[in-house]
Structure 1
C-alpha cells in the first residue's frame, strides 16, 4: 500500500486568534473599546463565586507534611470583592462532565489536552512521544475512534532557510493526522451515520485526562491519557473493538506463546516500515487475576481494518517499537519492556516536592490501574528530565528504548511508577530586586559618577515635569499586558533609585504615585476591569465581554498569556511590598496580588478550588504554555521564554517580600527547572544542552521563535524582523536574566545577528532591548551606547556587594533581611531605616528615611484615580518611555529607543552594576 504522508505547511506569519496587529510594536496593539464609559456592572454578579472557604490551618487540607504543593497561596480563599463574578464564558466547555460552575473542580485551560474540549474537538493532543486525535471520520482511515500517531525525526518537515541570513531552516514540524493506529469500536463506526458520536471528558487534571467516545448515549471506548505514557490504552465494556490505520499495514500477526495470563499480543508491521505492538487483555480483570482465559481475536479486513470476532470487555494497548524507519536499535529491549508492562496503565500523576537546603526536588507519582499492581509502568522522559533525575530514578532508565518527540528531542523509557528530579536552587534563592549575576550575586554598589548620571536620568523618567503624574497617565492602559509593563517599568526605576542610588526622597515621591497607579488596578477601576469567570475558574479581563473580540488584549479573557500579564503586576506588588512593608499588610493589597498569583500559580486546585493548579506552567515540559482557550492544530504554544521566566521571578520576589515560605521555595524550584528547560528547547548555543537536542538544521536560529507542541517556527506573532524574534526572548531584563540566558549564549547570538552595527538598525524600543541584553557580556560597551559615550569611573574598592535576601545561610528559607531598602509608608508618621552600602565595603549602613510629606489618604487615592481616568479614558496615552531625558552625547540613545516597558534608568543601573562602573 502506498503511503501518503501529509506535510506541514505553516503560513509565513501566524494569524493567531489571540493576537491582533503587526508591525514594530513589541506586542501587537490591543483593540480598545470605542466607548469611554466605565466598565458597566450590568450582567455581572457582585458576589463571590459559590465556593466555600476551606480551613487553611486544618491538617486535612495538606496532602503530606513538607510537601511544597500542600499549602495554598493564602489562607484567604475568597475572590477580592472588587472583582465581580461572571457565570458564562464565551468559550463553551465541550463535553466536559465535571461541574460547570463554582463548586466543581477547576478545569485547566492551558494544558496539553485542551483540544479534546475546544472547537471541533478533533485537533491533536501530544502526550510525548505519541499524539492522540479524535479521528471523527476524517483522513484516509475514515475512522471515528481515537487515532494514535508517532513521527520519527527522519519524517520531520523543514522550511526554507531563514531570510534573515542565519542559514538555518525557518521552521520545522511533524505531519499531523497520520493516524498510525486507530482504536475504535463498532458502535462508533455505525453511530456516525446518525450523527450520534460524541467525545466526552472527565477527570481533567494538569497532566492527565480521561476521554470517552460515546454513541447513542453509551460509552463505547474510554481512554486514560497521561503525559509521557509508554502505551496508549483503550478500555471496552461489552463492545466490539475495531482497529484501523491511516498509514496501512503490510501484515498483522498474532504472537505465539503466552505473554501474560489473559493477554493476547499482535504485531502490526506498517507500510512506512514501523512496527507497532497491540496487547489485548480480555475478560473481567478479577477473572484474569484468577488465571481464567480471556483474549481478543481480530479478523483482518484488508490493509487498514481489523475487527474483533466477538464482544469484548477489557483493554487494548498499543505501543510503537523503536527502530522501524530509523533502524533496529532498541527494538528487542522495547518489546521485552512492553511485554512486562502490558495489562497495566497510567491514569494520572500526583505531584509532590521539597526543598532541602540548596536542593529542590519534585516527584511524579504515577497512578495506575489494570491487571496487576506488581507490573511497573513504562513512561517516557524528556531530555531535561533525564539530566536532572535522582540517582534512584536514573537507575530505572532504559537508554536503548527511545522514541523521538516532535519538539523536545529524544524521549527515553523509564520503568517505574515514580520519578524524582533534582535541581540546585541556591542561585534563585540568592536573588533580590537589584541587578544580579551568578558569580557576584546581587549588586548594589556603583561609582559616584555613575550614580550622578543615572540620577539625572531618573529625575526625568520618574518625576517628569509634573512630579510624577506621568506615572498615572502611562499606566492607564486598556490592556492588562501594557498596563502591567508600565507599572513594572516604574517599579524597577524605584528599585534603582532607592536600593542602588540611595536617593530615598526621590524614591518616595515616585512610590507615592506608583501606589496610586497600582490602586487603579487593585480597586478594579482600569479601562477593562477584571472579572472572575466561573465557567473555567479564573480571573480574566472583561475586554472580550465588552467588545465581543476574542483577541483583545492578546486573548486575556480566553486565558492567553496570563503569566505574562499578571507577572508584571506581581513584580510591581513585590517592589511596593519591598519598599513599604506596610503596603502589603493592607488586606486589600495582599488579597489582590495573591489573587493574581493564585490564577497563574495555584499549587493545588483541591485546596484552593477557585483556580486550576498551575494554569500555565507545565511540570512535565518544564516551561509554560501561553495558549489558552483556542483550538490549535499544532497544540499549545509559547512565544516569549523570557516573560515566562520573568513571571516565576516575580513570584519569587513576591514570596520574599511577603515572607511566603512555601511560595518562595516553590518558585525557586520552578525557576531552576525553567532555566534547564529553556536551555534545552528554546535557547540554542554550543554550550547549551539544546545543541544536542534540537535539529542541527534549526539551531542556527539561536532561539525558538514560537515553540508549539508539534513544531517550532522562528518568527513572532507580530512580525519576522530579527530584533523581534530574538528580542521577545530577552525582555524584560531583570535580575534573573543571567540565570536563564548565560553569557556564552548571549555572545553567540550577538555575533550571529547583531554584531558589526546590525543592532543599531533595530527599530524603536528594540534597540534598547538588544543593548540591554548585550550588557550581560559587555556592560561597559552597552553603557557607552546608552549614554552616547559618557564616562563612568570604575567603582572603588571592588565593592560589588553580594546580598542573599532569600537565604542568609543557604538553608532554603527566607532570610530576615527582606525589608532591606525599605521606603517609608505613605501613611505612617514614623521613619524607617533603609539599607545602603558604603563604597568599598560589604557592610550595610542604616540610613533614616523621612516621612513623605502630604501622604495620601484612601479617599485621596480614589479621587486621584477618578481624575486620571476621566482625563485619559480610552487612550493608549503617550509612549511609555517618552519622558524628557538628558540629551545624549554624540549620537547616543534617545527615548525612542527604549521599550515602553523599560527605562533608561534601569538599563544604566544594569550596566553600571554588571560592569562595576
Structure 2
C-alpha cells in the first residue's frame, strides 16, 4: 500500500468515527506531510483569574520545582505569539501554561466540539441544531467496539469505539448552541475546570471539573434551571431518595444521579419526556453528579467531587512510587470520592488503596477494564526501576552477564568506525528538521562514545570530537536553518518553520521525539567530555528542551508540567494542537522511551538525582503500560483477542488503535509499523522490549519478509533481533558485503556492532 493509499485509508477510518452531529476533524500531519494550519479561532476576553497563575505548586516529591524552574527562557529564543490561539482560555503572560498534548486539549481548539476522555467517560461540547446544547457525555463498552476493515478479520487492522452517543447532555434553560462556550480554568496535567455559559453571561454557568479517572460527572449549576437531555432516551426514571435518582436508558444501561442542594428551598428533578430530565426551579450552587451504574460506593462518595488532581512521587533505590492526589470540594459520607484506574495502575496499587476496591469495573476505550476505588488518592508502587542501565550496553536476555569484547569484535568495530568518523557530521546534521538532525547528532555521538570507551582509540576520538561539538553547537546557539522560538501563547519551544513542516513541531507535535535525540546526543558527548555541559550555551539549550517536554512542576510559569508524558496513560502523546475526533495519539513507543532514557543520562552528567529518579520512574511506568497497551505478547490479556496478532499497536489513540503509521505500511509488508516501535536501539530497549515479545514478533511477523526488505528499515529490524538473538544480528552486521543503504540514517554500523557484540553477539 502506498503513501496516498494509507493516507486515504486513515482519513476514512477517522471519518467512520464521526456521528451525524460531528464535522470531520482536520487530519493530523503525518511525518513529512505538509499540512495547512487549522483556522485561527477568535481570542476570548479574559473572564476570570486562573487559580494556577499564582506560582504555588501542588505537586510534590519528584514533581516539585526542578531544573531551572521559573527562570526566564534564554534570550537566544525569540519570543513569538502562536498564530493559533487557544479557545476559551486566558493566555496572558501571568496565566498558567495551557497543556497542548494531553486529554483536555481538544476543548481548546476550533469550536470546542471534539471529544475528550477523562476515562472511563468521554465528554464533548455539543451545539447541534434542534438538540440540547451543553456538555454531552457517554461511556462505551467493549461489546460496542467496531473492528475493521474486515469485522471478522484476525488480526483486525483497527478498532474504535462509537463516538458521541449522547447518553446525557448537561444543559440549562436559556442555553443556545450558537452562543455556547466553555471557558477553561485551573489548567493542570491531570485536570481542568470547564465553565459553560451561553449568551455571554458567564455568571450564569455550569461548572464541570474534568479530572482523569473521575467517578462522577459533577456539574455545579449557578443561576440556571438545569436540563439534562438524553438522545438515547430515558426508559425508567425513579427517585430513590431525597437526593438520589435511578435512570435506565433505552439501551438498558443504568445510571445514577445525585443532587446536593446547597441552596434554601426544595430542589428536585423530574422526567419531562423521554429525552429530558428537568429541575423544578433555578439552581444556585446545586451540584448534580451522574455516574454509570449503581453502587453503595457511589452512595458513600456522593456530594464530594474532585476539582483537580496533582502528581506526587518518590524513588528509593530501584523502587519508586507515583500517585494522583485528588483535591475535593463538597462533602461525602465517607470523606472520599470514587476514582477509576487502568490495568497498569491497579496491578501495582499500594495496599492502602487496593483495600478500597468498590468491586465495580468499566471498559476503557483502548486500555482494558478499569477498576474503581473509594479514595482520594491513587498510589502505584513500581519495582525494578532501570537504575542499573546506564550508558554501557545492557540486555535482559539470560545469557547477558556484563559487557565483554573480544579482540576480533573490536577489530571489526574499529574498521566500521574508521569509515564513519570521516563523514560530514556538520553537513548531515545542519538541515531543516529538528527530528532528522537529532537522529544524525545521536548517531555520531554514539560513534564518539564507542571510540572513547569501547575502542579506546584516541586518534579516532579526536578526529570525530570537534565535528560532533561543532554540529551540536549550531543548535545550542540556535543557528540552525529554522531556529527555535519561544511561543508566549501556549508557552513552549517550537520550530520557526511553518506548521506543516518538520512533522508539525511548531504545533507541538512530536517534541519528545525530536528533542529526545538532541538530549541523548548531548549526554553521550558529556559522558566522553564532562566539561561539555559546563558550556553555558550547551547547558541552557539542553535545559530548555527538557523544560519544554518534561517540566517537573505544575508551577513553572513558562512551560506546562510534563507536556508529553501522560502519567495516567503511562506513555506520551505526540499529537499537538490539532483537533481530532479520536483524541491524542502516538505511533512510536520506542522514541517515547528514548526521550526518558536521554533525560536519565543527561541527569547523570549534571548530577541531578531528582531528574534521574523521575526518568527512571517514567521508564518503569512505560515498561508496564506499553507491554499492556502497545506491545502485545501472545499472552496479553488487555487488548481484544482479535488484535493481539498484530504484535504492535501501530497508532494508539485515546479512542482507537490502528495498525498503521502516518507515513505508510512498508515497502514489502508492514515493516514500517514494527520498525517505528523499535528505533533507536539503545541499552534501554531491552528493558522495555522483552526477549519473549521480540522473539514472538520476529517469528510471527518479520522473519518471513526480512530478506526482501531493501532499505534502512532492514537494519533496524535486524538490530532489534539482538534483543533476543544477538548471534543472528552479529552475523548480519559483521558480513563482508556490507551495504550502508540497509541501515537507517540515524543508525551507525559502529554502534550496532558494539552493542551486539557486548550483549553476546560475538
- Asked if Structure 1 and Structure 2 have the same fold, meaning a TM-score greater than 0.5 normalized by the shorter chain, the answer is yes
442-451 or 728-737, larger mean C-alpha shift: 442-451
Q: How far did 1:283 drift?
A: 3.2
Pair 1:186 & 2:134 matched: no
Partner of 1:906: 751
1:762 equivalent in structure 2: 709
Q: How do 1:291-302 and structure 2 match up within 5 A?
A: 294-301=266-273
Counterpart of 2:729 in structure 1 is: 782
Superposition pairs for residues 700-715 of structure 1, below 5 Å?
A: 700-715=645-660
| Distance 1:16-1:445 versus aligned 2 partners, 3 A rule | farther
- For 2:654 and 2:457, the matched residues in 1 are separated by 48
Counterpart position of 1:436: 394
1:151 to 133, 140, 148: 140
Q: Quick one: which of 15, 32, 38 aligns to 1:28?
A: 32
Provide the residue aligned with 1:603 in structure 2: 552
Change (3 A) 1:443 1:530: farther
Measured after TM superposition, the shift of residue 149 of structure 1 is: 0.5
Q: Are 1:403 and 2:362 counterparts?
A: yes
Aligned to 2:311: 351
Distance 1:541 1:339, change over 3 A: same
Alpha-carbon separation, structure 1, partners of 2:380 and 2:116: 25
Residue in structure 1 matching 2:510, options 550, 561, 571: 561
2:41 equivalent in structure 1: none
| Number of the residue aligned with 1:580 | 529
Question: For residues 637 and 361 of structure 2, what CA distance do their matches in structure 1 show?
Answer: 15
Residue of structure 2 in register with 1:794 after alignment: none
Deviation at 1:11, TM superposition (A): 6.5
1:512–1:454 Cα change, 3 Å: same
Task: Answer whether contact 2:491 2:560 (CA < 8 A) is retained.
Answer: yes
CA apart distance, 1:72: 1.4
**How far apart are residue 64 of structure 1 and its match?**
8.5
Q: Secondary structure at the match of 1:187?
A: coil
Do the aligned partners of 1:555 and 1:561 also contact (CA within 8 Å) in 2?
A: yes
Partner of 1:306: 277
The 3-state SS of whatever aligns with 1:362 is strand
Asked whether the 8 Å contact 1:18–1:554 carries over to 2, the reply is no
Change (3 A) 1:494 1:656: same
Deviations 1:415-434 (A, max 9, x none): 111121111244x2111222
Q: What is the deviation of 1:28?
A: 2.9
Conserved in 2, the CA contact under 8 Å of 1:641 and 1:682?
yes
289, 296, 299: which one pairs with 1:317?
289
8 A contact 2:190–2:308 mirrored in 1:
yes
- In structure 2, relative to structure 1, the CA distance for the partners of 1:515 and 1:61 (3 Å cut) is farther
* Match in the other structure for 1:40: none
Which of 439, 447, 458 does residue 493 from structure 1 map onto?
447
Question: Taking structure 1 as reference, are residues 629 and 379 closer, same or farther at Cα in structure 2, changes over 3 Å only?
Answer: same
- The Cα offsets for residues 196-246 of structure 1, whole Å up to 9 and x where unpaired, read as 222211112111111111112223211111010011011111211111112
Structure 1 residues 775 and 29, CA gap change in structure 2 (3 angstroms) = farther
CA–CA separation in structure 1 for the residues paired with 2:696 and 2:217: 42
How far off is 1:306 after superposition?
2.2
Q: Secondary structure at the residue paired with 2:372?
A: strand
In 2: Cα distance, 1:241 partner to 1:393 partner: 35
Partner residue, 2:543: 594
Partner of 2:183: 200
User: In structure 1, which of residues 19, 24, 46 is the aligned counterpart of residue 29 of structure 2?
Assistant: 19
The within-5 A match list for 1:314-393 is: 314-321=286-293, 334-372=294-332, 374-393=334-353
Give the conservation status (yes or no) of the 8 Å contact 1:242–1:306.
yes
Question: What's the secondary structure of 1:543's corresponding residue?
Answer: coil
Of the three residues 246, 253, 268, the one matched with 1:274 is: 253
Report the equivalent of 2:671.
723
- C-alpha distance after superposition, 1:33-55 (max 9, x if no partner): xxxxxxxxxxxxxxxxxxxxx9x
Residue in structure 2 matching 1:511, options 465, 474, 482: 465
- Secondary structure (helix, strand or coil) at the match of 2:682 reads coil
Residue equivalent to 1:801: none
Name the counterpart of 1:93: 86
Q: Deviations over 1:566-622 (max 9, x none)?
A: 00010011112111111111122111101101111100141x211000001111111
- In the alignment, which residue of structure 1 is the partner of 2:567? 619
Query: 1:435, 1:442 within 8 Å by CA — same for their partners in 2?
Result: no
Contact 1:152 1:404 in 2 (8 A): yes
If the length of structure 1 is used for normalisation, what is the TM-score?
Answer: 0.76
Shift of 1:479: 0.5
Q: Confirm or deny: 8 A CA contact 1:18 1:551 kept in the other structure.
A: no
1:103: Cα distance to partner? Answer: 2.5
Kindly report the root-mean-square deviation, in angstroms, between the aligned alpha carbons of the 2 structures: 2.4
**What is the total number of aligned residue pairs between the two structures?**
722
Computing the radius of gyration from Cα coordinates, the structure with the larger value is: 1
Q: 3-state SS of the aligned residue for 2:65?
A: coil
Provide the secondary structure at the position in 2 that maps to 1:388: coil
Q: How does 1:462-501 map to 2 (within 5 A)?
A: 462-464=421-423, 470-501=424-455
Three-state SS of the structure 1 residue aligned to 2:236 is: strand
Matched, 1:224 2:209: yes
Query: Structure 1 residues 9 and 17, CA, compared in 2 at 3 Å: closer, same or farther?
Result: closer
Q: 1:61 to 1:95 in 2, by over 3 A?
A: closer
Secondary structure, counterpart of 2:562 in structure 1: coil
Aligned partner of 1:116 among 107, 110, 114: 107
Equivalent pair of 1:80/1:588 in contact (CA under 8 Å): no
CA distance in 2, matches of 1:693, 1:656: 35
Within 5 A, what are the aligned runs for 1:853-868? none
Alignment of 1:49-198 (within 5 A): 67-74=61-68, 77-86=71-80, 88-96=81-89, 98=90, 100-137=91-128, 142-161=131-150, 167-188=154-175, 191-192=176-177, 195-198=178-181
Match of 1:240 among 209, 212, 225: 225
Contact 2:32-2:501 at 8 Å conserved across structures: no
1:440 offset after TM fit, Å? 7.8
**Within-5 A mapping of 1:246-261:** 246-255=231-240, 257-258=241-242
TM-score with structure 2 setting the length: 0.91
- Stretches of structure 1 that go unaligned for 5 or more consecutive residues are 1-6, 21-26, 33-53, 55-59, 259-263, 288-292, 322-333, 465-469, 545-549, 789-887
Please list the CA deviations of residues 657-706 of structure 1 after superposition, one character each: whole Å capped at 9, or x if unmatched. Answer: 1111110111111111111110110000035xxx1111111111000000
Match of 1:38 in 2: none
Distance 1:435 1:410, change over 3 A: same
Is there any run of 5+ residues in structure 2 with no aligned partner, and where? 1-10, 18-23, 37-52
| Helix, strand or coil at the partner of 2:645 | helix
- Counterparts of 1:718 and 1:442 in 2: how far apart (Å)? 39
Is the Cα contact below 8 Å between 1:123 and 1:134 reproduced in 2?
Answer: yes
The CA distance in 1 between the partners of 2:513 and 2:322, in whole Å, is 24
- Whether the aligned pair in 2 keeps the contact of 1:407 and 1:712 (CA below 8 Å) is yes
SS at match of 1:712: strand
Aligned equivalents of 2:372, 2:509: Cα separation in 1: 33
- Provide the C-alpha distance between the structure 1 equivalents of 2:25 and 2:707, rounded to a whole number of angstroms: 29
> Do the aligned partners of 1:299 and 1:309 also contact (CA within 8 Å) in 2?
no
Does the CA contact (< 8 Å) of 2:300 and 2:333 recur in 1? no
Q: Distance in 2 between matches of 1:220 and 1:597?
A: 38
After superposition, the C-alpha distances for 1:91-134 in whole angstroms (9 at most, x for unaligned) are 111111x3x23232111111100111111210100011000011
Contact 1:298 1:309 in 2 (8 A): yes
C-alpha contact (below 8 Å) 2:527/2:605 kept by paired residues: yes
1:859 alignment partner in structure 2: none
Match of 2:5 in 1: none
Equivalent residue, structure 1, for 2:404: 445
In structure 2, the CA distance between the partners of 1:31 and 1:308, relative to structure 1 (3 Å rule), is closer
Q: Is the 8 A contact 1:208 1:226 kept in 2?
A: yes
The answer as to whether partners of 1:345 and 1:368 remain within 8 angstroms in 2 is yes
